[in-house]
Amino acid sequence: MTAFPDAEPVVLQPSTAPQTLCLALVGDLGYENSEEVLELVGEALRSREDVRTLRLDCRRLDMVDSTGLSALLQIHRWTQRDGVGLYLDHPGPVLERVLRITGTYEHLTAPRPPSPHHGTATQAYEIEG
């Protein structure tokens, strides 16, 4: 359980790179807040139509469960669909263990350059049920 349960699970971070959105994932990423995390990340992506790279700083994640992993996979689907490069920065031992056990480590951490087809999708960042 997170030491600060009322803290925002997604925090906007400054970026010096153009067309890069940097967000920090904070605390727990699981059943209780994964929908909120998806909404916040989707909102951040919608607010920046010029985004070519999304960097998620994971160093402050305390816990990740299967629902949290599902949220990361959904974000990955959004970025792939829209030609946005996704990077999980500083995954830490908790997240790395979950990714390795589930066989998703390479899938979510392999660097992907932005697609030249950026901006052709509907930009609908909605939670899929």
- What does the DSSP assignment read for 28-83? EESTTTHHHHHHHHHHHHHH-TT--EEEEEEEEEEEE-HHHHHHHHHHHHHHHHTT
Q: What pLDDT is attached to residue 42? A: 97
Q: Which tokens is 67 given?
A: 């629902």
Q: What pLDDT is attached to residue 7? A: 77
pTM for this structure? 0.83
Q: What pLDDT is attached to residue 109? A: 86
Q: What is the mean pLDDT for each group of 10 consecutive residues in the chain (129 residues)?
A: 66 93 97 97 94 96 97 97 94 94 91 56 49
